Structure 1
Amino acid sequence: MTTEQKVYQLLINHSNTYLSGEEISNQLGLSRTAIWKAINNLKDKGYEILSKPRFGYQLVDNGKLDENFIHKWMKSNFALTLLDTVDSTNTQAKLLAAADKPQVIIANEQTAGYGRYRRDFSSPKNDGIYMSILLSNQPDETLNPGLLTTATAMAIYYAIQECFHISPQIKWVNDILINNKKICGILTEGVADLESGYISRIVVGIGINYTTPLSDFPQDIQDKVGSLRELASKHHVSRNHFIASILNHFSVLYQDYQAGAFMDEYRKASIVIGKEVTIQQASKTITGTVATINNDGNLILTDGQIFTSGEVTKIRY
């Protein structure tokens, strides 16, 4: 372990307080000059380290993606892979599909992020949360991708409640909204085993406009998208903290997501129940009024039509 790594590890282990240069020197057996150089190197790499006379140094979670800060808040046992720039975290997760344990791929930027129907998903650097959860699926398990997507939406819903003390809206099946603006999308994909044909791995992709300013989005979608920027600033919640909160709630919900115990709260958060909507399903366009969303996550219209998949493209208020 390098001097820089030793200093960083000590600071993150004591990130709630200041450590004096003397304390660092005594604990690590390093000279004050070596410590000063290491701290400046860390600052050059984007870490925020406060310096206070007679108190010392304190490492601050300034939003730079950091596995150690995520683990500080995280109660679940997911393995984490943090990357600076990738094409897509879902694509990267599929490349790791042979992994034996659940893991999470998190990127600071996506150059080819995508959502449903392979639509481009704007993924500017340093501001968003782009992550994919890779899960195994046993041959004797019944996969309900719609309900898994719904459970993921609720994990993000609970994280927003926990961190920002507000309740967002949910547009069936995979969009999280605040003030009718989309701040998050979810995409669940399966990876098939070539020999047996069954879905052996599941990838749950999550894209969140976290501290993203609206000016970073393409002009044609700026009136439709929102961001958690103001809430994150007001409540001093970093990306690392919020990622951990999502994973904590997801790990609890995933254990028995197929029971759909969270569906009552999902329905309360739904922005489409009771509304006349337009649904796009493949090449078909259907208009009707939403009666409810059942415990399997399916959308039901008042005329009895049931949708296990599709996209609500318009809501009439």
Structure 2
Amino acid sequence: MSTKKQVLQMLEVNKNVPYSGQTIADQLGISRTSVWKAIRALREEGYQIESSTNSGYRLSSFSDVLNSESISQDLEEPLSIMIYEQVDSTNAEAKRKLDEIKEGDFLILADEQTSGRGRLGRSFHSPTKTGLYMSLVLQEIPQSVDPTLVTTAAAVAVCQAIEELTDVKPQIKWVNDIFVNGQKICGILTEGILSLETQTIQSIILGIGVNMTLDKENIPVELIKKIGGLLEGQEAQVSRNQLASAIINRYYQIYEKIETREFLKEYRKRCFVLGKEITFTKNKEKYSGIAKAVDDQGGLVVRLNSNQKMVLSYGEISIRMKEGNG
């Protein structure tokens, strides 16, 4: 491990606790000059490291540089973590890593995605350092796991993590978009890797993108009124590292007993489309009706205007605005 990483790890263990340059040097067996150079390099990378003559150096708890040590120390279960400044998409990078990593779950994060992807082939706006862009790779999938529930479980995990760290009350738009104050702040893209030999899902890539803040000057015009930022207008200061570890912890808590479907109660409580009139297209035909329920497979039960019942297992829905609401 480099000197810079050793110094960072020491400061990360107890954020807001000051360490003198001499204490760091003595514990790591390096010179004070080496400590100073490491601190300078970390500041250049964006870490907020405060210093004073009397108390020494300390890492601000609100430093928001993606860091594997910071994420790892808050995880309930160990996980291999890889961080990139820029990737085309974290899901695409995860697929490439699957060629190298044959066993064990792992996590990919990036400051920026140049070709971030959403559901149904859409792009996901992913400017540098304004969002949490990550992909959790689940390997050795138990046969008891229903792959169709993985996405709905992730939506619940994201909501619970946000509620744990902030005063925000997120809601879910079926299937897997997270909204705050009527604007989308998170999207989830789940992809399964099929074993040709066994014809079963051998790996699942769970891509999660959360808008933490908004770079309003660079938002595409068509998205200005549609997307929001988790921390916009919030007093709470939450780092991407904190949110990443909270989401992962919450997800594994659900995943370990996903076959019980208990988490669907939490999903239904937050699913704001229930009871609303919706429109959607299926097999090139347009339909409208009332969203009545979410079934035990995560499907949306719709009572059509023709009074027939239809269950949607995937796709895009729109909430129909009442006349006079614009």
Q: TM-score, normalised on structure 1? A: 0.93
Q: Indicate the residue corresponding to 1:121 in structure 2.
A: 124
Contact 1:115-1:185 at 8 Å conserved across structures: yes
Q: Which amino acid aligns with 1:128?
A: G
Q: Deviations over 1:187-230 (max 9, x none)?
A: 11111123333221111111111123333321111101111123
What is residue 278 of structure 2 aligned with on the other side? 277
What CA distance in whole angstroms lies between the structure 1 residues aligned with 2:36 and 2:95? 42
CA deviations over 1:233-257 (Å, ceiling 9, x no partner) = 6212111001110001001001121
Q: Residue 239 of structure 2 corresponds to which residue in structure 1?
A: 238
Give me the whole-angstrom Cα distance separating, in 2, the residues matched to 1:286 and 1:21: 67
Q: What's the secondary structure of 2:253's corresponding residue? A: helix
Q: 1:129 to 1:2 in 2, by over 3 A?
A: closer
Measured at CA, do residues 33 and 153 of structure 1 come closer, stay the same or move farther in structure 2, by a change above 3 Å? same
Question: Given residue 218 of structure 1, which amino acid in structure 2 is its aligned partner?
Answer: P
CA contact 1:275–1:316 (8 Å) conserved in 2 = no
In the alignment, what sits opposite 1:78? 79
Root-mean-square deviation (CA), in Å? 1.9
1:315 to 1:80, Cα distance in 2 relative to 1, 3 A: farther
Q: What is the CA-CA distance between 1:150 and the residue it aligns to? A: 0.6
Q: Deviations over 1:162-205 (max 9, x none)?
A: 01133211100110000110001111111112333322111111
Aligned to 2:88: 87
- After TM superposition, give the deviation of residue 143 of structure 1 in Å: 5.1
Q: Distance in 1 between matches of 2:106 and 2:2?
A: 27
The alpha carbon displacement at 1:93 in A equals 1.4
Question: Residue 312 in 1 paired to residue 312 in 2?
Answer: no
CA contact (8 A) 1:294 1:300 kept: yes
Partner of 2:40: 40
Partner Cα distance (1:51, 1:235) in 2 = 24
Greater Cα offset, 260-269 or 177-186: 260-269
Q: For residue 24 of structure 2, what is the amino acid of its counterpart?
A: I
- Evaluate the alpha carbon distance shift between residue 6 and residue 134 of structure 1 in structure 2; reply closer, same or farther with a 3 A threshold: closer
Please report the TM-score for the alignment, with normalisation by the length of structure 2: 0.90
Counterpart residue number, 1:193: 195
The count of residues paired between Structure 1 and Structure 2 equals 315
1:305 aligned counterpart, secondary structure: strand
**Aligned residue in 2 for 1:21:** 21
For structure 2, list consecutive stretches of 5 or more residues without a partner in the other structure: none
TM superposition shift of 1:46: 2.0
Query: Which residue does the alignment assign to 2:182?
Result: 180
- Report the Cα offset of residue 72 of structure 1: 2.3
The residue that corresponds to 1:301 in the other structure is 302
Report deviation, 1:97: 2.8
Partner Cα distance (2:178, 2:283) in 1 = 22
Runs of 5+ unmatched residues, structure 1: none
CA distance in 1, matches of 2:317, 2:37: 55
> How far apart are the structure 2 equivalents of 1:43 and 1:213?
23
- 1:7 is aligned to 7
Instruction: Tell me which amino acid in the other structure corresponds to 1:95.
Output: R
